[in-house]
Structure 1
Amino acid sequence: MIHAFPCGTLALDFVGTLRARRNDEPTEKLASAADLDAWCVESGRLSAAPSSGAADVERAVELREAVYALIWARLHDQALPAGAVETVNRYAADAPLVPVLTDAGWSRVGGAGQVLSQLAREAVEIVGGDAAALLRECGRPECTQVYLDHSRGRRREWCSMATCGSRMKAAAYRARQRAGAGA
Structure 2
Amino acid sequence: MEHVFPSGRPALDFAGTLRVRRGPSPREMLRSPESLSSWFSECRIVESDIACRPLDLRRAVALREAIYHLVVARITGARYDQEALGVVNDAARQPPPVPQLTEDGRRVEATVQQALSYVARDAIAVLSGPEVQLLKECANPDCTQIFIDHSRGARREWCRMDPCGNKVKAAAYRARKRASGESGIAANVSS
Normalised TM-score (structure 2):
0.90
Q: 1:181 to 1:104 in 2, by over 3 A?
A: farther
Structure 1 residue 180 displacement after superposition: 4.3
Q: Does residue 141 of structure 1 match 2:145?
A: no
Matched with 2:52 is 52
Instruction: Note the alpha carbon deviations across 1:58-89, whole angstroms, 9 max, x for none.
Output: 11001001111111111110111111111111
Corresponding residue number in structure 1 for 2:3: 3
Counterpart CA distance in 2 for 1:26 and 1:74 is: 23
User: Could you tell me which amino acid in structure 2 is paired with residue 84 of structure 1?
Assistant: A
Partner of 2:41: 41
Mark the runs of 5 or more structure 2 residues left unpaired by the alignment.
185-191
Match of 2:17 in 1: 17
Q: Mark the runs of 5 or more structure 1 residues left unpaired by the alignment.
A: none
The alignment-based identity, stated in percent, is 45
Runs of 4+ with >4 A deviation: none
| Residue 66 (str. 1) matches residue 59 (str. 2) | no
- Counterpart in the other structure of 1:160: 160
How many Å separate the matches in 2 of 1:79 and 1:178? 43
Q: What amino acid sits opposite 1:175 in the alignment? A: A
Correspondence for 2:110: 110
The aligned counterpart of 1:79 is 79
After TM superposition, the score normalised by the length of structure 1 is 0.94
Q: Report the structure number with the largest CA radius of gyration.
A: 2
Shift of 1:173: 2.8
Alignment size in residue pairs: 183
